[in-house]
Amino acid sequence: MTRVLVLNCGSSSVKYRLFDGAGTVAKGLVQRIGEQGGDAADHLAALQRIMAETDLDGLAAVGHRVVHGGPDFGEPTVIDDAVVERIEALVPLAPLHQPAALSGIEVARKLLPSVPQVAVFDTAFHATIPPEGFTWAIDPKLAERWQIRRYGFHGTSHAYVARRTAEILGRPPAEVNVITLHLGNGASACAVQGGRSIATSMGLSPLDGLVMGTRSGAIDPTVIFHLHRVAGLPIDEIETLLTRHAGLLGLTGDNDLRAVESRREAGDAAAILGFDVYIRRIREYVGAYLAVLGRVDAIAFTAGVGENSPEVREATLSGLEPLGIALDPVRNAAAAPIISPDGGRTAVCVVPTDEELEIANQSRAALGLHD
């Protein structure tokens, strides 16, 4: 078995998981980095702590989750100085996320100089989206100059879930078309054709697409001009508003769907509307991707909401029987792997995602290592 350490560095946290083959031998979370009373003063101290607590004997690779791969990183990539520079050059595309991954890489290379390290990009799975799917209707020279296009995120999750869905159906991934719905705090939809992403709802950043815990999702850009010009808000404030104070939180005051669901059941008007807006947006993307794919073998729900909320799954797909999409209420309540009735045209699946396992597997593959 090959040991792989997976690191997911955020600006104030480091999540880690040590794999031996597909098995987890250690995992944990270092939180509130740099804050008073936090677990560590900086990323260096965080990683030193992880290394002191974890037996890294025989470690064959470190896999880093990197949010933004820009236009060029379409594959997991073995890290060297040149790769670090290229990842650094992408900071302007993901100023909120990329610097943390970079400090994780820098520190891990310093502390584990003899262990090969691999960058696994959230965007990479979407590199197969065709030009008509990633191009926005603006001057191509301007788009090229500023690297403006749809990149998409949650790629490791969509890749993992699409493949697992094919396994659940007992069919080769290359023959299966799936709409994957990753519904967590962040949320995105993806159209996967024969194992390849051909459309996804997040864009240049993770702000586009579905309504999320604290992000607005897709919004007419004029709202931003209007808030700036007419309401007088500075651009940075509008960014914070749309990324951290919008979505379910903005609509209802709660970003956790469990709270929204229980308030909705109690008849709270804001929670009812928030839930309906959240669901309506998912349905619009399902409809769009039915048209993009033509034939859909399965719709797969994943992540915190997708795996745990029968209400969201039911509301998302209700009334679609004429399209060959239906749910079995007993299977849905039990979150069975297949929650549709037998024999339908489109299976509906609940597939627990495992981004860290996917990162470990992709890191091994990039280095030509076996499990």
Q: Least distance from C-beta 228 to ligand ADP, angstroms?
A: 29
Instruction: Tell me which residue has its CB nearest to ligand ADP.
Output: 304
| Contact (CB, 8 A) for 349 and 337 | yes
Measured from the CB atom, is 149 or 182 closer to ligand ADP?
182
Out of 186, 209, 217, 274, the only residue in the binding site for ligand ADP (CB under 6 A) is 186
How many degrees, rounded to 5, is the angle at CA 210 between CA 206 and CA 213? 75
Distance CA 322, CA 121 (A): 38
Q: Are 148 and 204 in contact (CB under 8 A)?
A: yes
Q: Looking only at residues 319 through 358 of this chain, which bind ligand ADP when binding is defined by CB under 6 A?
A: none
Candidate residues 100, 159, 202, 305; the one interacting with ligand ADP per rule CB under 6 A: 305
d(CA 67, CA 88): 12
Per the residue annotation, which of 122, 208, 254, 268 is the catalytic one?
122
Active site residue 57: no
Q: Between 39 and 122, name the residue whose CB sits nearer to ligand ADP.
A: 122
Contact 91, 37 (CB under 8 A): no
User: Among 12, 147, 185, 240, which residue sits at the site for ligand ADP (rule: CB under 6 A)?
Assistant: 185
Residues near 185 by beta carbon (within 8 Å), at least 6 away in sequence? 212, 213, 214, 255, 304
Cβ closest to ligand ADP, residue 147 vs residue 308: 308
The one among 70, 184, 209, 247 contacting ligand ADP by CB under 6 A: 184
- x/- string (CB under 6 A) for ligand ADP, residues 352-371? --------------------
Pick the closer one to ligand ADP by CB: 24 or 185: 185
Phi, psi for 16 (deg, rounded to 5): -135, 155
Rounded Cα–Cα distance for residues 46 and 48 (Å):
5
Calpha distance 65→353 (Å, rounded): 15
Among 131-139, 167-175, 298-306, 330-338, the segment contacting ligand ADP (CB under 6 A): 298-306
- Of 127, 303, 320, 366, the residue at the interface with ligand ADP (CB under 6 A) is 303
In 24-153, where does DSSP find H-type helix?
43-53, 81-88, 98-111, 131-134, 140-145
**For ligand ADP, which is the closer residue by CB, 98 or 214?**
214
Q: Residue 314, interface with ligand ADP (CB under 6 A)?
A: no
Q: Candidates 33-41, 122-130, 183-191, 264-272: pick the segment binding ligand ADP (CB under 6 A).
A: 183-191
Beta strand extents in the chain (DSSP E only): 3-9, 14-20, 23-30, 59-66, 77-78, 117-121, 177-183, 187-193, 196-200, 298-302, 347-350
| Least separation in angstroms between CB 259 and ligand ADP | 8
d(CA 71, CA 77): 14
Q: Tell me whether residue 116 or residue 186 sits nearer to ligand ADP (CB atom).
A: 186
CA distance linking residue 104 with residue 320, whole number of Å: 45
Burial bucket for residue 241 (CB in 10 Å: 0-12, 13-18, 19+): middle
Which amino acid is located at 241 in the chain?
L
The binder of ligand ADP chosen from 106, 237, 256, 328 (CB under 6 A): 256
Say which residue the tokens 């604290």 belong to.
214
Nearer to ligand ADP, 226 or 258 (CB): 258
Residues at the interface with ligand ADP (CB under 6 A) = 184-186, 213, 256-258, 261, 303-305, 308-309
Catalytic residue ranges: 122
